[in-house]
């Protein structure tokens, strides 16, 4: 595949992961933070699949598949939490739901 | 596959597809007219030449293109512009993996009548189909209209719900054939099996009884998996959002649902998308359940071998190819007719009925079907080994 | 060809990931950027000979997860009420961002040092059959656990999103 090799993919994965981490740190909208977490999970998946290609072993792909299952469950539960929060508090700003922090 | 043969199959495929989409408007009008005891489209004419109303699709297109293209105030302009295309493109793309014939060798060329013969063909159709949800969802949201918004919410819930059932209903078929490649499915469905072969295994008939060998049945998906055929059709029709599953459009409740703010050819694109999807549904069902491009009880390779002495190898292949395409087309047309029949004879479901059908009937039935199919496979393996 | 595709897909993935985080106007726009990112990642998976994972990526992420996001955003009618911005604790946030950027740069530098050539993979690598056989033989316990997790998730989502538990 030309001059493209494993580390290119790893750097893309690292970039996406840190963009996701920045999103979680900087944004206060719960839904956008949640999307940033999805970005981080996806970056991890990309890294797994790239390593699996590099080694020539499909275990990485299976792990990526299982990560997707976990991500799907996480989204279902997380969005349900957000729905009930918005119903009770009428806000998606994470700063307004800090009762458990203290 | 050489590049030239790819172009041949793309050309044939485009020809078939482009011919189908406009004609579907005529088919729909004529069939509804027939079922409601009317005459149907018969007015448009060119120089007094009416051609059974076949000029109407042309008139429709001219009308749609020349209409004013409105963009409502407060709309998200880019999404409003782009979502009709998102709705149509997946329907066209998913045609790429559907085989409308086998592979043929003639005059040194190797012709495969399938644009992209992918290892995971059926999954590809599902994946591409799930993208189509965005076309409908974003349309309702981008138009800045409350009815459109209601339509969006309904369409997203409906399409996600039926995608679950859609995937699980056909698992039984893949358990039997052991492949997701649609061309392999087509070849495997040319085989036959002996209906009463198991009697021989149990010793209930004499070992030299000939009649067992005579009663054979083609291994079509619909024979092996009759219930999933209808469940799959139901789920696909729900994905297509036509009556009786058109609650997202619901003219009597939410005016036109998600495409309420569209006019002109953008509205036409939604209509076109629905009709192309009808053809896709018919083609997919044909490829998976109705034996694809082959005639029942006929193995295509045997047929070509039988014709070769009389016609020569090239002509035999050509004849087999033409036969395959026509058989496929006839099956597709029958299924389109069947879908139209359902569309014009059923009233619209209530929204809760749509959800109940998806989650409480189709999903449990398809899960049960997996178990039953597994038991059946074990039984057949025990009998034949 | 593959090199060009790699650059197209990875640029699209990174740019739209930035779009997810950087779009302050409406969560809908963020969700749409997320779709583009997911589709680009699916393209990268296919480049990595992981066709099945790429397809599942399109089906699960682009086809279901982001649709669920959009569904919730529309259901709650969050048009524009994004509560955006880095208004509170600017110093802490700037420091956090700095740490992330530094870590990324260090990670990229470390990763780019090992340039091993790729081995040729065998014919069946990454196909549905290979993945399916591995999943249902060596990793069958993981599949079972994932199934239980999905069931728990469904029940939890229904209970949490219900208006009134009766």
Question: Among all residues of chain B, which has the CA nearest to that of C133?
Answer: B178
What are the counts of helices (DSSP H) followed by strands (DSSP E) for chain B? 17, 4
List chain C residues with CB under 8 Å of B141.
Answer: 28, 70, 74
Q: How many angstroms separate the CA atoms of A101 and B289, rounded?
A: 57
Task: Enumerate long-range contacts of B336-342, CB under 8 Å, 24 or more apart.
Answer: B336/B24, B336/B27, B336/B278, B336/B279, B336/B282, B337/B27, B337/B31, B339/B233, B339/B237, B339/B242, B339/B278, B339/B281, B339/B282, B340/B27, B340/B28, B340/B31, B340/B32, B340/B278, B341/B31, B341/B35, B342/B237, B342/B244
Query: What subunits make at least 3 CB pairs under 8 angstroms with A?
Result: C
Answer yes or no: are the C-beta atoms of B224 and B176 closer than 8 Å: yes
CB atoms B153 and C71 under 8 Å: yes
B278, two tokens: 């009808």
The dihedral built from the CA positions of residue C13, B132, B354 and B368, taken in this order, carries a sign that is: negative
Q: Per the structure block, which two tokens stand in for B247?
A: 């609650």
Ranges of chain A whose pLDDT falls below 70:
1-3, 101-102
Look at C67 and B156 and tell me if their CB atoms are within 8 Å. yes
Given the DSSP bridges, would you call strands B109-112 and B192-194 parallel, antiparallel or unpaired? unpaired
DSSP assigned state of C80: T
Predicted confidence (pLDDT) at residue B139 exceeds the cutoff of 80: yes
Instruction: Report CB contact under 8 Å: C63, B163.
Output: yes
> Do C87 and C46 meet the contact criterion of CB atoms below 8 Å apart?
no
Residues in chain C within 8 Å Cβ distance of A39? 17, 20-21, 34, 37
Residues 6+ apart with CB under 8 A from B341: B31, B35
pLDDT of B4 > 70? The answer is: no
Half-sphere exposure of B299 (CA within 13 A, CB side): 8
Measured CA to CA in angstroms, residue B12 lies from B48, B111, B114 at distances of 32, 11, 10
Distance CA B272, CA B275 (A): 5
pLDDT digits (tens, 9 = 90+) for B144-155: 788 888 888 888
Q: Which sign does the torsion angle of CA C104, C107, C109, C112 carry?
A: negative
- In chain C, the residue whose alpha carbon lies closest to the alpha carbon of A24 is C21
Tell me which chain B residues have a C-beta less than 8 angstroms from the C-beta of C67: 130, 133-134, 137, 156, 159-160
pLDDT at A42: 92
Q: Minimal Cα distance from A51: which residue of C?
A: C48
Question: Which among A11, A31, A42 has CB closest to C27?
Answer: A31
Compute the distance between CA of residue C76 and CA of residue B133 in angstroms, rounded to an integer.
19
Please, what is the Cα angle at A70 between C47 and B360, to 5 degrees?
A: 110
Facing C71 at nearest CB: one of B79, B130, B157? B157
Q: What angle do CA B151, B156, B160 make, to 5 degrees?
A: 150
Q: Which of B74, B83, B94, B119 to mutate to test the interface with C (most CBs of C within 10 A)?
A: B119
C-beta atoms surrounding B11 within 10 Å: 11
Q: Say if residues B17 and B279 touch (Cβ distance below 8 Å).
A: yes
Q: d(Cα B380, Cα B377) in Å, to the nearest integer?
A: 5
Task: Provide the pLDDT for residue C85.
Answer: 47
Read off the pLDDT of residues B73-102 as tens digits, 9 standing for 90 and up: 877 788 888 888 888 888 888 888 888 877
Question: Do residues B192 and B186 make contact, with C-beta atoms less than 8 angstroms apart?
Answer: no
Q: Check CB contact under 8 Å for C116 and A6.
A: yes
Q: Closest partner residue to B160 among C55, C67, C75, by Cβ?
A: C67
Q: Return the closest-CA partner of residue B350 out of B161, B132, B158, B136.
A: B158
- Given a contact cutoff of 8 angstroms between Cβ atoms, the answer to whether C40 and C13 are in contact is yes
Q: What is the pLDDT of residues B357-381, one digit of tens each?
A: 888 888 999 999 999 999 988 888 8
Tens of pLDDT, residue by residue over C73-123, are 887 776 554 454 445 667 777 788 888 888 878 877 777 666 666 766 677
C55 interfaces chain A, CB cutoff of 8 Å: no
For residue C20, the chain A residues in CB contact (below 8 A) are 19, 23, 32, 35-36, 39
Closest approach of chain C CAs to the CA of A1, in angstroms? 6
Q: Which chains touch C (3 or more CB pairs under 8 A)?
A: A, B
Q: Report pLDDT digits (tens) over A8-31.
A: 888 888 888 888 888 888 777 888
Given CB atoms, is B152 within the 8 Å cutoff of chain C?
yes
Report ipTM for this prediction: 0.85
Where would I find the beta strands (DSSP E) of chain B?
Answer: 103-106, 109-112, 192-194, 216-218
Portion of chain C with pLDDT greater than 70, in percent = 83
Within 8 A of C130 by CB-CB distance, chain A residues are 58
Q: Does C128 touch chain B (CB under 8 A)?
A: yes
Nearest CA of chain B to the CA of C129: how many Å?
8
pLDDT at B10: 65
Q: What pLDDT, on the 0 to 100 scale, is given for residue B188?
A: 84
Q: Do C65 and A72 touch (CB under 8 A)?
A: yes
Rounded CA-CA distance B97/B114 in Å is 6
The answer to whether residue B319 scores a pLDDT higher than 60 is yes
Residues in CB range of B353: below 8 A, 6 or more apart = none
Predicted pLDDT at C115: 63
- Condensed to tens digits (0 to 9), the pLDDT of residues B33-67 reads 888 888 877 777 777 777 777 778 778 888 888 88
B76, with CB counted inside 10 A (0-12, 13-18, 19+), is buried
Q: Which of B330, B327, B267 is nearest to B297 (CA)?
A: B327
Tell me the pTM: 0.84
- Residue C87: CB atoms within 10 Å: 11
């Amino acid at each position: 595949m030309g001059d493209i090799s494993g580390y290119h993919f790893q750097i893309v994965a690292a970039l996406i992961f840190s963009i996701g981490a920045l999103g979680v740190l900087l944004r206060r909208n719960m839904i956008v933070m949640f999307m940033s977490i999805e970005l981080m999970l996806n970056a991890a998946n990309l890294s797994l699949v790239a390593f699996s290609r590099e080694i020539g072993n499909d275990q990485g792909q299976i792990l990526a598949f299982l990560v997707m299952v976990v991500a799907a469950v996480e989204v279902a539960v997380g969005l349900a939490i957000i729905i009930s929060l918005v119903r009770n508090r009428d806000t998606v700003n994470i700063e307004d739901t800090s009762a458990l922090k203290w | 596959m050489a590049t030239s043969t790819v172009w041949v199959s793309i050309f044939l495929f485009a020809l078939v597809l482009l011919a189908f989409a406009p004609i579907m408007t005529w088919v729909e009008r004529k069939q509804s007219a027939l079922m409601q005891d009317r005459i149907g489209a018969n007015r448009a004419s060119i120089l007094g030449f009416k051609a059974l109303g076949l000029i109407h699709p042309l008139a429709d297109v001219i009308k749609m293109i020349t209409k004013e293209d409105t963009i409502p105030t407060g709309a998200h302009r880019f999404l409003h512009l782009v979502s009709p295309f998102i709705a149509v493109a997946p329907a066209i793309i998913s045609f790429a993996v559907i085989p409308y014939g086998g592979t043929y060798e003639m005059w040194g060329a190797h012709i495969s009548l399938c644009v992209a013969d992918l290892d995971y063909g059926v999954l590809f159709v599902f994946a591409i189909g799930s993208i189509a949800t965005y076309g409908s969802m974003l349309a309702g949201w981008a138009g800045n209209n409350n009815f459109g918004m209601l339509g969006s919410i309904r369409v997203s819930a409906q399409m996600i719900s039926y995608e679950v059932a859609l995937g699980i209903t056909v698992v039984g078929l893949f358990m039997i054939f052991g492949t997701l490649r649609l061309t392999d499915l087509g070849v495997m469905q040319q085989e036959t099996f002996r209906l009463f072969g198991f009697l021989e295994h149990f010793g209930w008939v004499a070992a030299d009884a000939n009649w067992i060998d005579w009663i054979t049945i083609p291994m079509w998906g619909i024979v092996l998996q009759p219930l999933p055929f209808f469940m799959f059709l139901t789920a696909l029709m729900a994905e297509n959002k036509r009556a009786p599953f058109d609650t997202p459009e619901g003219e009597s409740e939410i005016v036109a649902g998600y495409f309420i703010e569209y006019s002109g050819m953008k509205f036409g694109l939604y209509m076109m998308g629905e009709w192309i999807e009808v053809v896709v549904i018919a083609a997919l069902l044909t490829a998976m359940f109705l034996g694809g491009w082959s005639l029942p009880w006929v193995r295509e390779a045997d047929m070509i071998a039988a014709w070769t002495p009389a016609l020569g190898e090239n002509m035999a292949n050509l004849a087999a190819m033409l036969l395959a395409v026509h058989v496929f087309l006839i099956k597709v047309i029958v299924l389109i007719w069947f879908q139209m029949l359902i569309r014009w004879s059923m009233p619209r479901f209530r929204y809760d009925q749509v959800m109940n059908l998806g989650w409480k009937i189709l999903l449990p039935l398809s899960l049960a079907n997996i178990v039953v199919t597994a038991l059946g496979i074990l039984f057949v393996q025990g009998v034949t080994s | 060809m593959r090199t060009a595709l790699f650059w197209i897909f990875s640029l699209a993935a990174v740019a739209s990931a930035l779009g997810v985080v950087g779009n302050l106007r409406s969560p809908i726009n963020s969700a749409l950027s997320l779709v583009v990112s997911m589709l680009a990642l699916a393209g990268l998976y296919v480049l990595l000979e992981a066709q099945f994972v790429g397809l599942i990526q399109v089906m699960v992420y682009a086809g279901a997860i982001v649709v669920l996001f959009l569904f919730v955003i529309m259901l709650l009618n969050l048009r524009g009420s994004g509560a955006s911005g880095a208004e509170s604790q600017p110093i802490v946030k700037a420091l956090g961002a700095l740490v992330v950027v530094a870590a990324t740069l260090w990670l990229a530098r470390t990763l780019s040092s090992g340039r091993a050539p790729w081995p040729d993979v065998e014919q069946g690598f990454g196909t549905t059959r290979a993945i399916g056989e591995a999943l249902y033989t060596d990793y069958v316990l993981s599949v079972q656990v994932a199934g239980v997790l999905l069931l728990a998730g469904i029940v939890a989502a229904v209970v949490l999103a219900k208006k009134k538990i009766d």
